[in-house]
């Protein structure tokens, strides 16, 4: 059999041309598309990994800041409570000394003359002393003392006995607003602190109403459906006034 070399060479050339055309117009675009898609997927994976690392870093930073905030808050609360205790002890000691001095004056007046005139005079002296004490304590009120008063009041809420908690919770069952009265205007943060403390302690969703009551003399009280929880300097003065009245009756 005779080989037709012209045909063989022509077919070889045709095959090479076909291979070149396939490579040029088919394989290259497909390979380029595959490479492009592979690169895109790699970039997406790298972006996802980067975002994951950033999210983890942000979470760690948030937790760290939260820990610092809680630590600083606890330190401030402890400091405020300590300062409030010192301030309260000082006020109680001063009130005690004033009560002793007043009692001595009353005893002297009753000893000298048991007449009604002298009794009225002793009562007037006692009222004047109380008025002076109220005015002096009101004039001494300051932002620092108000903050300490709030800290002591919150501490008192936290230290409620179980029976007091039960009574407080029973008073809130009607759903009526909780009235908070204070001798000074409470800031938004101070109001939030009271609300948060009561809600966390008693698990209640009652609304709150805040009013200013200067008669409390640097104090705060909570009223809810007959239940009352308070702390104020006026409580000490009232106790002092009752003791003075009792002392007069004994004489």
Enumerate the domain spans of the chain. Answer: 84-142+238-250, 144-234
Q: What is the pLDDT of residue 247?
A: 54
Rounded-to-integer distance, Cα 224 and Cα 170, Å: 10
Give, in degrees to the nearest 5, the angle at Cα 129 between 124 and 132: 125
Assign 167 to helix, strand or coil.
helix
Q: Is the pLDDT of residue 176 over 60?
A: yes
Is pLDDT at 127 greater than 80 in this prediction?
A: no
Question: Are 166 and 200 in contact, with CB atoms under 8 Å apart?
Answer: no
pTM for this structure?
0.40
Q: How confident is residue 16, by pLDDT bands cut at 50, 70 and 90?
A: confident
Of residues 39 and 235, more confidence is placed in 39
Domain 144-234 top-level CATH class: alpha beta
Over residues 26-34, mean pLDDT: 75
| pLDDT classification of 27: cutoffs 50, 70, 90 | confident
Q: What is the C-alpha separation between 6 and 61, in angstroms, rounded? A: 79
Maximum average pLDDT range among 126-140, 144-158, 184-198:
184-198
pLDDT at residue 238, as a whole number: 61
Name the DSSP class of 216. Answer: G
Tokens 């048991």 belong to which residue?
A: 114
CA 42/CA 48 separation, integer angstroms? 10
Give the ranges where the chain is alpha helix by DSSP (H).
5-22, 28-112, 116-139, 143-158, 162-172, 188-202, 233-250
| Per-residue pLDDT at 12 | 84
pLDDT tens digits, one per residue of 47-106: 878 888 888 888 888 888 888 888 887 888 888 778 877 887 887 788 778 878 877 887
pLDDT in tens, 200-246: 888 888 889 999 888 776 688 888 888 888 777 666 566 555 655 66
* Whether the Cβ atoms of residue 106 and residue 248 lie closer than 8 Å to each other: yes
What is residue 140's predicted lDDT score, i.e. its pLDDT?
41
Position with higher pLDDT, 210 vs 141 = 210
């Amino acid at each position: 059999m005779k080989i037709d070399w012209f045909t063989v060479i022509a077919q070889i050339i045709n095959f090479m041309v076909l291979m070149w055309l396939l490579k040029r117009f088919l394989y290259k675009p497909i390979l380029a598309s595959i490479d492009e898609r592979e690169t895109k997927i790699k970039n997406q994976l790298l972006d996802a990994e980067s975002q994951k690392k950033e999210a983890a870093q942000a979470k760690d930073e948030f937790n760290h800041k939260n820990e610092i905030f809680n630590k600083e808050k606890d330190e401030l609360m402890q400091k405020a409570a300590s300062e409030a205790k010192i301030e309260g002890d000082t006020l109680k000691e001063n009130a005690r000394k004033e009560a002793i001095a007043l009692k001595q004056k009353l005893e002297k007046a009753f000893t000298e003359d048991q007449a009604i005139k002298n009794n009225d005079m002793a009562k007037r002296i006692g009222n004047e002393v109380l008025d002076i004490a109220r005015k002096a304590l009101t004039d001494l009120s300051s932002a620092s003392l108000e903050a300490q008063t709030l800290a002591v009041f919150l501490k008192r809420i936290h230290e409620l006995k179980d029976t007091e908690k039960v009574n407080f919770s029973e008073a809130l069952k009607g759903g009526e607003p909780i009235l908070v009265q204070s001798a000074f205007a409470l800031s938004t943060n101070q109001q939030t602190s009271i609300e948060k403390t009561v809600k966390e302690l008693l698990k209640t969703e009652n609304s709150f109403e805040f009013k200013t009551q200067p008669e409390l003399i640097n104090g705060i009280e909570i009223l809810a459906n007959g239940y009352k929880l308070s702390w104020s300097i006026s409580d000490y003065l009232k106790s002092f006034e009752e003791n003075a009245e009792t002392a007069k009756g004994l004489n």
